[in-house]
Amino acid sequence: MSQDTLSDVLRTVRLHGAVFYYVTGDREWAAEAPPSRDIAAAVMPEAEHVIEYHVIVSGHCWAGLIGESPVRLAGGDVVLFPQGDPHVISSAPGMRAAPNVSW
C-alpha cells in the first residue's frame, strides 16, 4: 500500500454512476435528505450503496446529520456522508425541512 491512501481506495472501489442536484438558497433555507437506502433504487437502480456529498461553491451554510450538531461550511468545502445517513444543509444551524423525494 502506498502513502496515498485515497488513490489506494479509489483503485479498489468500483464507482458506477452519479446523480447531481443543484441547491441554491437565499435568506433562510434548508434542504434535508432522507437515508440513502430509502432513495437508492430510484436514483441509482442496481446500486449496492449510495454515498451522498455536497460541494459548497460559494457563500456558506451549515451541514450535519439529523440529531447532531451541524458544522459551518464555506465556499470550497466538501461534506461527505459515506453511509448515506439522513442529513440537512441549511442557512443556519438547527433548521429542518421535509425531504423532497418526488420523482
For residues 83 and 2, the model is more confident at 83
Q: How confident is the model at residue 9, as a pLDDT?
A: 73
* Cell digits of residue 101: 423525494
The structural domains of the chain, ordered by start, are 5-90 (2.60.120)
Q: What is the pLDDT of residues 3-43, one digit of tens each?
A: 777 777 777 776 666 666 777 778 899 988 888 888 888 87
Q: Tell me what pLDDT residue 2 has.
A: 59
pLDDT given at position 91: 94
At residue 38, φ and ψ (nearest 5 deg) are -75, -20
Tens of pLDDT, residues 62-95: 999 999 999 999 999 999 898 889 999 999 999 9
The length of the chain, given as a count of residues: 103
Give the start-end residues of each E strand in the chain. Answer: 30-33, 52-55, 60-65, 71-74, 78-81, 87-90
Dihedral over Cα of 37, 19, 82, 33: its sign: negative
CA distances to 16, 27, 33, 73 from 50, rounded to whole Å, are: 10, 30, 12, 22
pLDDT at 89: 93
